[in-house]
Chains A and B, each alone.
Chain A
Amino acid sequence: MSPVGAASWSFTEDDFHAITALLQKFLYESNARCALLVDRSGQLVATVGEQPTFDPTAFATLTAADFSANDQLAKLIGESDFNSLFHQGEKESMYLADIARRVILCVLFDNRTTLGLVRLKMKGVVDDLTKLFEQVFMRGQLGGAAAQTGLLAGADDEIDKLFQ
């Protein structure tokens, strides 16, 4: 099993469009309100569907912490991890699922749909996203996120200036 959350990574606009398209299809089929993708270190990758009224950055860090804490709980009871989590509220609920051990899909839904339908449709989108992210990470293994694209190559002067 690959280590959780290792090495830098980057994704291109094409990746982003592919992710968004998959999530939009999922939201349409499941009738869920909103889907957020968060990486295991707590960075928000994408938000699709109804724009959340809360602070999505704070939400992303807490999601990653929630997932990590539950991973440890799983280990304590002899499981390698919990690959999905469900939090039920009176009106709003959320369902979280692991993608390729590096990203978390978090789906928010209310009583316009049911847990059963969300869970059913989630299985398909998790498989598709896992394939997509495995390709993204494979590319990343060829070099560090920035090194691979040369984004910050020779940017030393610019970095120095930023901190003057």
Chain B
Amino acid sequence: MSMINYASREINCKIVYYGPGLGGKTTNLEHVYGKVKPDTRGKLISLATETERTLFFDFLPVDLGTIRGFKTRFHLYTVPGQVYYNASRKLILKGVDGIVFVADSQLERMEANQEAMQNLYDNMAEYGYDLTKMPFLIQYNKRDLPNAAPLKELQAALNPGWEVTEPGKQRLAPDPYHAGENLVEQLPTGEWIEHATYFEAVAVTGDGVFETLKAVSKLVLKSLA
């Protein structure tokens, strides 16, 4: 739910980092917090347990620049990834403008990733939001680990694509971030499908963190244009 404040000339948008527990959502925010200039970000608020597991959410406001004289302020949230906290996780999705799904690339976390993705679809649907019609992308985190699953496998499991039924959207759309790949394409069966954009990342070192943030923010602003 973006909010435009004509009095303070601000556009406020909400981005949520979603995904399985221990996948690196909080680490993404911590890296952003550590790297952006202090005058363009607010405090990092963490509602976490004593063992630093997210209990309710982490929150970080960042200013990404000015468009048409309006400051663009992005409110970044993470959700608690543990299955147990679904009630609080759902609350964070309220009024979301863009979603980053942070997947854990480790082979043994494949099932947890799929469960979290299904949970995201379900929680969004309960609010009446359609994930396929809003700014949404996937970050494959922990790419540096030796037990990371091949990208192809992750894509097949988590980003198989959804059917495009609108005739106006049924045309080849190349992926601006991956040469030779398409976001919208036609299958040999004649069906048109659309994938979410994806990024590879190692959030602990910061690799891919800003690429992900920039891409989702751009999608959100374009959805308002």
Contacts and interface: CB of A to CB of B under 8 A. Distances in A.
Interface string B49-80: 00000001101010011011010100101000
A10 B3 contact: yes
A74 interface: no
Contacts of A153: 225
Contacts of B94: 4-5, 40-41, 64, 68
Contacts of B225: 146, 152-156, 159
Interface string B181-221: 00000000000000000000000000000000010011001
Interface residues of A, number: 46
Interface stretch (B5-13, B31-39, B137-145): B5-13
Nearest to A67: B91
B56 A155 contact: no
Contacts of B214: 163
A11 interface: yes
24 contacts: A5-B1, A8-B97, A11-B4, A11-B7, A12-B7, A13-B6, A17-B7, A39-B1, A39-B95, A41-B75, A41-B95, A43-B12, A43-B14, A57-B43, A57-B61, A58-B43, A58-B45, A58-B59, A68-B91, A69-B88, A69-B91, A146-B2, A149-B4, A162-B64
